[in-house]
Amino acid sequence: MKTESEKKELLSKIDSCLEKLVNDDRSKKDMEIFRKLYEQFLSEPAQIDWKSWTLPAEDRYIDSSKLGKISIAESQELLKKLAVIRLNGGLGTTMGCEGPKSLINVKNGKTFLEIAIDQIENVNKCFESKVPLLLMDSYKTFDETSKALNLFAHDKMVTVEQFLQSKCPRIYADTLLPVPESADSDLEGFYPPGHGNIFETLAETSLAEKLLSQGIEVIFVSNIDNTCATIDPKFIKALLNDNHEYIMEVTDKTAQDIKGGSLIEINGRMMHLEMPQVPPEGIDEFCSTKTFKIFNTNNIWINLKAIKDKLYDIKREIIANKKKLSNGREIIQLETSIGGAIRNFPNACALKVPRSRFLPVKRTQDLLLLASDAFEMDRNGIVKLVESRTTAPIIHLSGAYDSWPEFQKRVPHIPSLKDVETLTIKGDVIFGKDVILKGKVHLEPEGKASLSIDEGVMIENNNISS
């Protein structure tokens, strides 16, 4: 946080720089959005006062298991008011992906995008509804996603539409001034400012106005890689019946979720708390499950009709994401999350849901789990644990598997994991066809050697048999 004099000087400089980054109406709006982010970044402390918060009261939570059943006719009426938005701006850089993450083949030969379309098509068939699928793309994903849609979406019973989120300038970490010098500068100088940007994007693309004119009042937003974020008409009813502007799905926190965002209350308002906002003295408590028992799944239900006049005025916590350019110079991306918007809505609440609604793919070990026979996917795209399991296997892969290309080299054939408790791989292990793993499996070749698991081998609790 800067002093008033420092802030005034930087804002004057940034205004001069941003003028050079405008070459059309859209870029002008994007720079206005970035200018608000920048001023907030200079004005607000990056971390909260650890003594200032309390946990939200129980009446701010809804237990999804206690929502009453609804009829097919009522579901049909509710679905008329719904549009699904999948966040599709990411390249999956944590997995070494060059193209959109949504176009990776993940289950039964289908991509995340195809699964999302199949799921909504199934809903539309079952309820004779016309729920549309909207994809919030970044400039990094729009074109390739559009090409993919042209190949397989034309024969589906679901309308798919793309819309483009903002493109903002990165800033140098030392000067806090923009990296690009003009609107035509190299794209490395720009970035999509996080999924919290959905609100301004809905306004500046006129999509919010278009949806409302079609009678659509509710949007269900989730990550494209969470294949378990499916439509539930009961959740639409919960949002509308009690006049909630915003509902965040949360689920029980485990040791695997220590960095997941959670909820607190400051001055009577709910707030989404993420790791970057936690001061050093609060890290241990934030990462434990003793105090913070739930975390945000990033499945969000929004009453668009209730917030339509606030889309440009929704504040979210700034996440200063530090990165490096290809030349090694340090930069900052000012991002926001959709979870951070909860602080704007006095009647917002959290919906407690089972873990079965949360299966994101952030790393290759998540991808291995989803692709394996520990999860099944029916012809309607519904993904769930196989009946014999109550919890998913715990998987830890070595750094050799971090990138998608390297993962594919080592795991050309997905082993059977349906009977695995834990799988730990350290070092270079290559899997042949029809490998079966069971129990607690730890694979670690000696030294720098690689270990090849031959076709048809079964490994149970480190005991190899064929």
Annotation: binding site for substrate: 195
- Would you list which residues are annotated within the binding site for UTP? 101, 165, 194, 225, 362
Q: How far apart, in Å, do the first and last CA atoms of the chain sit? A: 62
Select which of 352, 362, 384, 440 is catalytic. Answer: 362
Helix pair 142-152, 112-127: axis angle to 10 deg: 50
- Would you list which residues are annotated within the binding site? 101, 165, 194-195, 225, 362
Query: Which of 420, 421, 426, 427 shows the shortest CA–CA distance to 458?
Result: 420
Q: 13 catalytic, yes or no? A: no
Instruction: Kindly compute the dihedral angle of the four CA atoms of residues 328, 330, 336, 337, in this order, to the nearest 10 degrees.
Output: 50
Map tokens 């008033």 to a residue.
4
DSSP assignments along 286-339, one per residue: HHSTTT--EEEEEEEEEEHHHHGGGTTS-----EEEEEE-TTS-EEEEEE--GG
CA distance 317 to 266: 13
DSSP assignments along 186-237, one per residue: -GGGEE---GGGHHHHHHHTTHHHHHHHTT--EEEEEETT-TT----HHHHH
Task: Give SS3 for 423.
Answer: strand
Task: Tell me the catalytic residues.
Answer: 362
